[in-house]
Amino acid sequence: MSTAWTARYALRTKGITSSAIRELLKATQKPGMISFGGGLPAPEVFPTQRFEEACHKVLTQQGASALQYGETEGYRPLRELIANNIARYGIKAKVENVLITSGSQQALDLIGKLFINAGDRVLVEAPTYLGALQAFNVYGAEYVSVPIDENGLRTDLLEKPLRSGPKFMYVLPNFQNPAGTTLSEGRRHELVMLSEKYGIPIVEDDPYGQLRYEGEHLPSLVVLDRENLRRDDGYSIGNVIYLSTFSKTLAPGLRLGWIVAPPEVISKLTQLKQGADLHTSTFTQFVAYEVARDGFLDQHVKLIRKVYRERRDVMLQALEEFFPSEVTWTHPQGGLFLWVTLPEGLDMQAIFRAALEQNVAFVAGDSFYARSNDGHDNGAREGSRHMRLNFSNAAPEQIQEGIRRLAAAVKSHLAATTIRLKLPLEV
């Protein structure tokens, strides 16, 4: 029944619900719970002492400006630091190309606000980052979903969807959330060429690019797009908008992300950000700058890589040890997640409930598929065979124990399903 309040809500809020993951996070606060659910960094690696020193320095030396309103574009020294950092990955942005946002999540919202009219299509990967769908849904996005495989987005399937005229493509090339897969170099080239050919821009979301545990860094789409267009003049034009964040390299509680785009796009996004929050917290930006400067960020990222590589390896090994042979999973070269595929016919919700009873949590795969208004599920049914497992947040011993418990839940459902499937033949 609709209350007086719900009847007053704007049409764009129709169908907007709370993220399954944020709801799940509440359930996993229970003591004894081992959670592979959220995308949470390991709290043990937060550089708290460096933050403490930075806060003290900012307040004693620059207190007045750090506590004052600031520029919407962001704190200039932090924008410079970001531009210098990403230059090492070949992204030669000027300060004018960088807009600081309140996390990458705000960047996704601003991009939705800038580009999506109700009913516009957005091309997304199947599966894709749930938070992006939530951000775009508010603007009435429709979706064209293109499947991924172990080498990322299936670029061989792109031409037809691109001809249907999506507003932009939303792509996660590195250690994808949720699947942990990485877009191969060949497909990266193909993708930027297709973007140019069809005039469809790319939103490249890259929160995990620096967290690579094996293999060589692959060039970002924003870099390959420059090469493809034969432009080396800063980001005056181009087909790619690049997003990243300090959430996974410093701390997510900072809520600090950034957008790299041509200046005309940055200027429009800045106007929209003014309306949203005037600017990202000045104090937080000053502190993040003090924390990250003088090479600390690089040094810290090395520590994170070491800790997460070990956790990934422990999870991969535990899966090998405890999971039945009918189950497969991805081998992520970096990032925070891996993607497990179960045989068809299992009831994932029942497995989820059984896992929670055993004090272990994960996110069921169907949350990560965009649904269309025409009722097409874009692979969500296929998603019900998958679970996303996060390996960054739990300590190695917990990972081992959590996977053992999860395997027990999966095995008992597998056995029950096999019996159920066999019954009609045997009776």
Site residues (vs ligand PLP, CB under 6 A): 39, 103-105, 129, 131, 172, 177, 205, 207, 245, 247, 252, 257
The structure tokens listed for 88 are 């090492």
Least distance (Å) from ligand PLP to the CB of residue 358? Answer: 26
Shorter beta-carbon distance to ligand PLP: residue 104 or 282: 104
Least distance (Å) from ligand PLP to the CB of residue 410? Answer: 25
Shorter beta-carbon distance to ligand PLP: residue 228 or 383: 383
Least distance (Å) from ligand PLP to the CB of residue 193? Answer: 24
Is the preceding omega at residue 324 within 30 degrees of 0, hence cis?
Answer: no
Least distance (Å) from ligand PLP to the CB of residue 311? Answer: 16
Shorter beta-carbon distance to ligand PLP: residue 129 or 308: 129
Shorter beta-carbon distance to ligand PLP: residue 315 or 346: 315
Lay out the sheet containing 328-329: strands in order across: 328-329, 337-341, 386-390, 363-364
The DSSP code sequence of 69-138 is: ---TT--HHHHHHHHHHHHTTT----GGGEEEESHHHHHHHHHHHHH--TT-EEEEEES--HHHHHHHHT
Shorter beta-carbon distance to ligand PLP: residue 100 or 200: 100
- CA 295, distance to chain mean position in Å, is 25
Shorter beta-carbon distance to ligand PLP: residue 70 or 178: 178
Please state, in angstroms and rounded to a whole number, the distance separating the CA atoms of residues 333 and 386.
19
Q: Are 185 and 150 in contact (CB under 8 A)?
A: no
Q: CA triplet 329, 157, 154: central angle to 5 degrees?
A: 30
Least distance (Å) from ligand PLP to the CB of residue 283? Answer: 18
Which residue has the CB atom at the shortest distance from ligand PLP?
A: 103
Least distance (Å) from ligand PLP to the CB of residue 281? Answer: 14
Least distance (Å) from ligand PLP to the CB of residue 216? Answer: 22
Shorter beta-carbon distance to ligand PLP: residue 73 or 125: 125
- Sign of the CA dihedral running 106, 111, 116, 120: negative
The structure tokens listed for 348 are 């994932």
Other CB atoms within 10 A of residue 426 CB: 6
